[in-house]
Structure 1
Amino acid sequence: MNVGNHKRLTGWKATAAVSMSNYIDSGSIIAIATSLGFWGAKYFPGDDGTVAGLLAAFSSNAFGAAIGALIGGPLCDKYGRKFIYTYDLLLYALGGLLVTFTLNLPMLFIGFVVIGLAVGASVPAGWTYIAEFAPPDRRGRHVGATQLAWSFGPFIGFGLAAALSPLGLLGSRIIFAHLVVIALVTWWIRQGLDESKAWQDSKGGRGAKAPSMWTAFRGLFSRRANITALLFLAAIYTFWNQAASQNGIFLPTILGHMGWGTLASDLFSMLTWGIVIIATAVYMLLVDRVSYRWHFFIGGVLAIASWAVLVFGPSTAAATAFGYALLWGLSSGPSAQAFYSVWSPELFATPYRAGAQGIVFFVVRLASGLISLVFPVILAQQNGLLKDGLILIGFLLASTLIGTIWAPKTQGKPLEEIEIERYGEIVSTRAIDAELHDELVSATDTSTTSTKE
């Protein structure tokens, strides 16, 4: 699609343009979270939590994004990273417009699903693209920028929700409208992005025919190194994301059960995400310098502690809510999602890098969708927060242990070197100079082939 001349984007400008996918991803989740009550009063009054759970489950928080990632990841590997950027935000804008001008429950549901599909397709492409052009010694910092953008989504979303709450449903429509505007502006800016050189080389340069998606999937699952990486990444991210997704979309509900009003809840959530932004900025400064293993461990322990405070602290005490906000916010810098976004492009070869991420993202958001169906129902029961909280603490504990024990030693290494270590060869050899390939092989210890180092 030719949309005119655009200034070529490189370096941090390219990172910023790509990272905006994460802002509108999290922004849509918070827009849904803060508007469910208004939509419910208008289109499904008297709901016991079932309809709200379905809407949340099929949105960008869960099933919608899961399906989008499963489709978009392989398309990204077959047709290129820029192919996704040509169309994904147009789809997002369409979904956002459906929600903004919705007239009934079916229209609202379709809008949520369309937004979810667009988000799912774009997020794996973003992590892949940034990792492929970022300098090896600053790859974590560049990929971490996506987390920073993700953090600003809830911060601004809750701020808008608090400011516009007197307008009721109209305020919610305005929040979705602002996401549409940002999506379209970002789409226009992104037309200045170059295609990933790593992807072009892996398929033989410009004009060469990329392998079919079936061939790419077969190659992905034919190697043990890929399967172990899929299992590792799916475990840490899925377990952690159960707590994160419920924090994101149902935190206003949780605070409501603690006696907080809508305005106070939105302002408090905004404070929480302000802490997340600070923690993420610190993470970006440290991720390429501090051991992956210990950095991940600290984040996991803080996340467990935050939910323990929320579950076992006095249910109406402000100290409980603020203790949770502080600990969860600090944990969200070195979180499982932050490390997943760095590790996932590192652990897979270029021909199926985005497709592999699409599979994991599908599993993660599918699990979030399933728990979103039951979480509000259990939460409404007596001792509901205690029941849900204990389950989520268990998930966080599992993620922390798995990520700490099997953290990969890929820090600061070029993607080609990691590929040699994991596969014993450069899988994407079509356009790689044979002499350079042999030099990389001889310079790398090929004895390490698993994610556990």
Structure 2
Amino acid sequence: MTSSGTRNGHVIWAASIIALGGLLFGYDTGVISGALPAMSDYFGLTPFTSGVVVSSLTVGAALGAMSSGRLSDKFGRRPVLLAASAVFVIGSLMAAFAVSVPIMVVSRVILGLAVGCASNIVPVFISELAPAHLRGGLVGLNQLMIVSGIMLAFLSNYALTGINQDWRWMIGLAVVPSVLLGIGVLSLAESPRWLAVNGRSDEARRVLEKYRTPEEVKTELDDIRSTDEPTQSDGWTALLDPRLRRVLIAGVGLQILGQLTGVNAVVYYAPSIFESAGLGSSSALLATVGIGVINIIFTVIGMGLVDKVGRTKLLAAGAAGQAICLAVFAFLLMGGTTSGTTSFIGVACIFLYIAAVAVGLDIVVFIIPSELYPLRIRATAMSLTTGVNWTLSFIVSLTFLSLFDAFGGAGTFGIYAVATALLAVFALKVIPETRGKTLEDIEREYVRSEA
């Protein structure tokens, strides 16, 4: 008989394969920072066309997130993620061999479709596979892979800089993990919960037997059947069910407030922000690498805490830390250009802010909705959730420099500090705690009880 440790090992291995989608998410998001300078010289990009090239991935990601959920609910998690791996390969090769700006933009949109699909399907697939006591940490593995992908992009950019048409190699390198994702997904079975709700209980049982004890298999299948209630409508209209109002407000509201904290703006414009804190250009670039290291370290810490402390407490504590760091940083910027001690404090505030984001918001931002939504419309609801996330990410990144020009550094980071404080309150007052509960228990408590 398979031991508990072996079963957990099987779950962790499966989650690691699925989370390669997060690695590609991070790599394709981060690689453009190193590829863009050489690409600009090659294509003769203007500031406007550079912005179009960079933002085109975000547009594609929003479209991919919004479209993949319905496909996943209809055809299954596994085939949609497998298709995403193929799209990653196609988009990476097209971008690496692009000979014009329009082809590059189309390639980046195609890559964005795969990125958006991965951001939607990966947390859902892992949450449906993982046992309740490991689910938070395993879904958090997706975030660890994202930040690791960003760091891998930074490292590959550094290593490849200077070779002939280095930007092509930087972008094309994503083909390797894309192929590995496809091969890995082929070795996995479909989500047992998707199988069960689609009338394939025998297959669901066989999948669960690999990851659970015989007693747990029976209990889990019984739980799934007890919550398997046909929706009154299909697709997006199913989300209009009044019983979903509470969980949708929690899941979508988390994405809106999470993006309004300015986290993506801080990451995308980190060198400029560090220069505003008083660092020289070379020191600012070095400090940006430090952001990547801190991101990874505190993501690991957050993964260890999320199943012990709980989702809402971890989010609220992290958001409170973010708000304090942003408020202090805004206060420092009120005095104009910083130097000496104030420069050191300013840089420390940004580092601590990133640590607070990594240990709290970034860990739970996709865990919470992947657990809250009921099985039959889970991926469709996640499409709405991740689509909102990507749309807000685009808006915040697009408006950051305009806010900076209009309100200055102090005003901009003051606005983000207020939004982050609101997120802490929202976490404690609106978002239900899901730690240690099965997905079926969560559905009974927060969805069916609303009937």
TM-score, normalising length from structure 2? 0.82
Structure 1 CA distance, aligned partners of 2:416 and 2:38? 28
What are the residue-to-residue correspondences of 1:247-266 with 2, within 5 Å? Answer: 247-255=266-274, 264-266=283-285
State the partner residue of 2:421.
397
State the partner residue of 2:214.
none
Distance 1:283 1:217, change over 3 A: same
State the partner residue of 1:290.
309
Paired AA for residue 156 in structure 2: L
Distance 1:110 1:259, change over 3 A: farther
Kept in 2: contact 1:44–1:51 (CA 8 A)? no
Distance 1:118 1:165, change over 3 A: same
Would you say 1:240 and 2:238 are equivalent positions?
no
Distance 1:106 1:77, change over 3 A: same
Could you say what secondary structure the match of 1:411 adopts? Answer: coil
* Alignment deviations for residues 220-273 of structure 1 (CA, whole Å, 9 cap, x no partner): 321x23222222222222222241221232223434566766654443222112
Match 1:231 to one of 249, 253, 263 = 249
Would you say 1:220 and 2:239 are equivalent positions?
yes
State the partner residue of 1:430.
none
Greater share of residues in helix: 2
* Alignment deviations for residues 201-225 of structure 1 (CA, whole Å, 9 cap, x no partner): 11111799xx999614333321x23
Structure 1 CA distance, aligned partners of 2:42 and 2:326? 33
State the partner residue of 1:31.
31
State the partner residue of 2:3.
none
Would you say 1:416 and 2:412 are equivalent positions?
no
* Deviation of the 1:384 alpha carbon: 4.4
State the partner residue of 1:330.
355
Structure 1 CA distance, aligned partners of 2:279 and 2:42? 22
* Deviation of the 1:345 alpha carbon: 1.8
State the partner residue of 1:147.
143
- Tell me whether 326-335 or 187-196 shows the greater mean CA deviation: 326-335
* Alignment deviations for residues 395-424 of structure 1 (CA, whole Å, 9 cap, x no partner): 323322212222312210111111111233
Distance 1:158 1:382, change over 3 A: farther
- Tell me whether 275-284 or 302-311 shows the greater mean CA deviation: 302-311
- Tell me whether 237-246 or 311-320 shows the greater mean CA deviation: 311-320
- Tell me whether 189-198 or 332-341 shows the greater mean CA deviation: 332-341
Could you say what secondary structure the match of 2:199 adopts? Answer: coil
Structure 2 CA distance, aligned partners of 1:186 and 1:203? 25
Could you say what secondary structure the match of 2:257 adopts? Answer: helix
* Deviation of the 1:332 alpha carbon: 2.5
Paired AA for residue 293 in structure 2: G
Would you say 1:185 and 2:209 are equivalent positions?
no
Would you say 1:170 and 2:194 are equivalent positions?
no
Match 1:367 to one of 371, 392, 397 = 392
Could you say what secondary structure the match of 1:288 adopts? Answer: helix
Would you say 1:196 and 2:208 are equivalent positions?
no
State the partner residue of 1:99.
95
Paired AA for residue 18 in structure 2: V
Would you say 1:127 and 2:127 are equivalent positions?
no
* Deviation of the 1:387 alpha carbon: 4.4
Kept in 2: contact 1:75–1:84 (CA 8 A)? yes
Structure 1 CA distance, aligned partners of 2:98 and 2:146? 26
* Deviation of the 1:45 alpha carbon: 4.3
CA RMSD of aligned residues (A): 2.8
Structure 1 CA distance, aligned partners of 2:439 and 2:362? 20
Match 1:301 to one of 320, 325, 328 = 320
Structure 1 CA distance, aligned partners of 2:416 and 2:294? 21
Paired AA for residue 361 in structure 1: T
State the partner residue of 1:5.
none
Could you list the runs of 5+ residues in structure 1 that have no partner in the other structure? 1-8, 425-445
* Deviation of the 1:181 alpha carbon: 1.4
Match 2:374 to one of 323, 326, 349 = 349
Structure 2 CA distance, aligned partners of 1:310 and 1:44? 37
* Alignment deviations for residues 55-112 of structure 1 (CA, whole Å, 9 cap, x no partner): 33321xx321111011001111111001112210111121112222222211221111
Kept in 1: contact 2:148–2:296 (CA 8 A)? yes
Kept in 2: contact 1:158–1:266 (CA 8 A)? no
Paired AA for residue 112 in structure 2: G
TM-score, normalising length from structure 1? 0.82
Could you say what secondary structure the match of 1:306 adopts? Answer: helix
Match 1:158 to one of 154, 158, 176 = 154
What are the residue-to-residue correspondences of 1:8-47 with 2, within 5 Å? Answer: 10-47=10-47
Kept in 2: contact 1:299–1:334 (CA 8 A)? yes
Paired AA for residue 26 in structure 2: S
Distance 1:188 1:369, change over 3 A: same
Structure 2 CA distance, aligned partners of 1:360 and 1:278? 27
Structure 1 CA distance, aligned partners of 2:55 and 2:119? 18
What are the residue-to-residue correspondences of 1:309-328 with 2, within 5 Å? Answer: 309-313=328-332, 315-317=337-339, 318-320=343-345, 322-328=347-353
Structure 2 CA distance, aligned partners of 1:149 and 1:331? 18
Structure 2 CA distance, aligned partners of 1:114 and 1:212? 32
Distance 1:175 1:294, change over 3 A: same
Could you say what secondary structure the match of 2:71 adopts? Answer: helix
Structure 1 CA distance, aligned partners of 2:133 and 2:61? 31
Could you list the runs of 5+ residues in structure 2 that have no partner in the other structure? 1-8, 205-229
Would you say 1:54 and 2:52 are equivalent positions?
yes
- Tell me whether 345-354 or 311-320 shows the greater mean CA deviation: 311-320
Structure 2 CA distance, aligned partners of 1:72 and 1:291? 29
Kept in 2: contact 1:236–1:398 (CA 8 A)? no
Kept in 2: contact 1:225–1:423 (CA 8 A)? yes
State the partner residue of 1:70.
66
Kept in 1: contact 2:94–2:107 (CA 8 A)? yes
* Deviation of the 1:23 alpha carbon: 1.4
Paired AA for residue 36 in structure 1: L
